[in-house]
Amino acid sequence: MDVLSYLATPFTDPLMLVAVALGTLAGVYVGAIPGLTGTMAVSLLVSLTFGWSTNVALAAMIGVYIGAVFGGSRSAILLNIPGAPAAVATGFDGYPLAQKGKAAQALGITTTMSCVGGIFGVLCLAFLTPLVSKISLNFSPVDYFLLGVMGLMMIGALGGGSMVKGLMGACVGVLLGRVGMDNMSGVVRFTFGSTSLMAGVPSVVAMIGLYGFSEALMQLKSRDFTVVKQDVKRIVPQFKEVVKHFWLTLRCSTIGMVVGALPGAGGTVAALLAYDHARRTTKNPEVPFGEGAIEGLVAPESSNNAAVGGAFIPMLTLGVPGDAITAIIMSALIVHGMQPGPLLMQNSKDLFYIVVSLCLIANILLLPFGLTGIRLFAKFVEIPKGRLFPIIVILAVTGAYVTNNLTIHIGWMLLFGFLGYLLKKFKYPASPLVLGIVLGNMLETNMRNGLVAFKGVGGFIGSIFTRPITFILFLVLFYFAVSRMRWWKAMMSKIKGFFKGLFTKKKA
Amino acid sequence: MEDKKLASAQPETPAEQLPAEEEKKKETLVPGGRYLSTILFLLFGVVFFVQSVQMFIDDPRPQGYGTFPMIVSGLLIVLTIIDFIEKTQIKSSIAGLSFKDKFVAIIKFLFPINSFVFLLMSIAFYVAIELGCPFLIAAPVFLLGSMCYLIPHNIVKNLIYTAVIIAAIYAIFTLLFKVSLP
């Protein structure tokens, strides 16, 4: 009974409802602007909410968080500039769809699936919190390392058929991500004496350059500025389309929720793993992956929104934030006199259920708010390329600058853009490079922590066979690796053929 | 013309639909695709590898700050060599040309005039900002300049687009979110 009254709290306070609604709406549009991330919006909001009541402040922050995670997909689909790292995978198929005049359809399906994934994540938050927090607490650095390697397995999907080319891009990304001060030893690496390189390469800046600026350079090679007319008649996806992808949505939402609950992993890794999962398990997509497959939108979007619910689990139950935004929300809660952590369920049970209720409301509101402005946004892509690409560059420059208020980041953005352009020209995929930058830190930090924790290389490798979670992850990783190989595919088709033959014989 | 020729040399069928061998036969390397790309990757890998080895010498523990980049840069060098070997089986689109012609073909392929001018304009825009020129002056100049270069026949429309975009950026970033522009 208490639980129901806690869950109903937002409905008894109109201010909370207004705050979560406005927060979600603002988040959707903030997330869609390159450079303005959800982390930035929530941190700006924190300073405003000090004088507010805890529940209203929490409502606004949760609204912005959920709205911004979804909003990142808009710029990824329309401009090929992901609004946030979690939307990188959305652009793989979203941008090709926009290029075919189907931006509205892509935005419609991402809104619906983000909503479904988000609600799934919240339900898991409500019912599975003790279990998931227990599992995530048992994750060792080696497990995080294996998770990072799994994320890198995406390279097979992005390498344009060549694993070697994909891995080369990823290695360049990982190495560029090592530029700057090492966060474990404090030693400055690969800066070549330049102080401006000490801050390192922010992944958002690299992403903006590699996707936005390089695309402009690629497409401006000729003056054929044919306008792609956008079909904006069908925005809301048909019910049968949602049902068709429902099983995939549930699987990807589960990936999102579990990965989101792992501190430090977050929606980016979740979305990449989900995209890879969709690519492996979708037998006959209507359009190939990378060319506008709907499944390529369903998977990352349901997953990164489910990761939001997951990210709250360790924050509320262990006092360990799941990602950067939950870290900010946690510090805001502490300022408001709350103490997220193991004692929260005993001392402030109401707070837990209020968070669940607010997340649920924000995800439901995502559907109407996410579908607003789609016609206007889709029209943006209809601007002739001779005008659109200079606008994209201005947005990319602004976005790169505002991430840290450093002009050097504009230079980085241009450099990454040129690098991406060269890679595309030489037929190397640019996405593994982004993946390398995003996952490089996770890989290195956890490899080194694992080596310390398990006392050397022997202990590190030994832990794979002595810890059940690590062993399961290793088996999954092993399957990921071998299932890409020709002999495995040939063997599986033989086995399938054998069983098929067996059943048809029986029937006969 | 050069681009059209090169584009026609690329297979139009999605890669997955072609058997690997058949695909290799039809594929041709773009100008600079054999040596230039290999040299760039190799150079990048070697620079990072040499620096990483120096770091590893300073801190030779497996968990030291040089180990991970050393492994990754070493892997990059090995992969670049494998990639080069794979590429030797593919015919180059500029095979048989003299060195000078090859050089011209590579430059023409890498820097089509529009992309090159646009790249120069973007660099000039960045340099202007780096030298202290306010964003609200440099950005409209870049925007209008590049739009007029790419679409020269409708200057009034270009002006309207420039004004609307700069006003929108100023309103969103400076007025709404209190984020300072360069």
User: In tens digits, what is the pLDDT along chain A, a chain of 508 residues?
Assistant: 677 888 888 888 899 999 999 999 988 888 887 767 777 778 778 777 777 888 898 999 999 999 988 888 888 888 888 877 788 889 889 988 888 888 888 888 999 999 999 999 899 888 887 777 677 777 888 988 888 887 777 665 565 567 788 889 889 999 999 999 988 888 999 988 888 788 888 777 888 888 888 888 888 877 776 766 777 777 788 888 888 888 999 999 999 988 888 766 678 888 888 988 898 888 888 888 888 899 999 999 999 899 988 888 878 877 777 777 888 888 888 888 887 776 777 777 888 889 999 999 999 999 899 888 777 777 777 788 888 889 989 988 988 888 778 888 899 899 999 999 998 888 888 878 877 887 888 889 999 999 999 988 899 999 989 998 899 989 988 887 787 677 887 888 888 788 777 777 665 5
B109 contacts A398? CB cut-off 8 A: no
Domain shared by A454 and A473, yes or no: no
R_g over Cα of chain B? 24
Measured between alpha carbons, how far is A11 from A5 in angstroms, rounded to an integer?
10
Domain shared by A474 and A446, yes or no: no
> Which residues are bridge partners to B91 per DSSP?
B28
Measured between alpha carbons, how far is A149 from A443 in angstroms, rounded to an integer?
7
CA of B102 vs chain A CAs: smallest distance (Å):
15
Query: Which uninterrupted H or E stretch holds A318?
Result: helix A295-318
Selecting from A164, A223, A407 the residue whose C-beta is nearest the C-beta of B129 gives A407
> At residue A411, what is the residue type?
G
Domain shared by A166 and A232, yes or no: yes
In the stretch 284-343 of chain A, residues with CB closer than 8 A to chain B read 288, 291
Q: Which residues are CB-neighbours of A418 under 8 A, at least 6 positions away?
A: A209, A213, A214, A217, B119
The nearest alpha carbon in chain B to A419 belongs to B40
B126 contacts A189? CB cut-off 8 A: no
Domain shared by A136 and A240, yes or no: yes
Selecting from A162, A384, A427 the residue whose C-beta is nearest the C-beta of B151 gives A384
Residue B33 reports pLDDT greater than 90: no
Give the residue numbers spanning the domain of A124: 2-466
Domain shared by A208 and A251, yes or no: yes
Domain shared by A411 and A490, yes or no: no
Instruction: Tell me which chain A residues have a C-beta less than 8 angstroms from the C-beta of B60.
Output: none
Measured between alpha carbons, how far is B70 from B9 in angstroms, rounded to an integer?
39
For residue A56, the tally of other CB atoms under 10 A from its CB is 18
Instruction: Tell me which chain A residues have a C-beta less than 8 angstroms from the C-beta of B57.
Output: none
**Number of folded domains that form chain A:** 2
Query: Which pLDDT score is estimated for B56?
Result: 94
Domain shared by A287 and A243, yes or no: yes
Instruction: Tell me which chain B residues have a C-beta less than 8 angstroms from the C-beta of A226.
Output: none
Domain shared by A278 and A373, yes or no: yes
Domain shared by A374 and A473, yes or no: no
Domain shared by A164 and A35, yes or no: yes
Domain shared by A456 and A436, yes or no: yes
Domain shared by A508 and A434, yes or no: no
Whether A213 has its CB under 8 Å from any CB of chain B: the answer is yes
B150 contacts A390? CB cut-off 8 A: yes
Query: Which uninterrupted H or E stretch holds A5?
Result: helix A2-7
Query: Which pLDDT score is estimated for A281?
Result: 86
pLDDT in tens, B67-97: 999 999 999 999 999 999 988 888 888 877 8
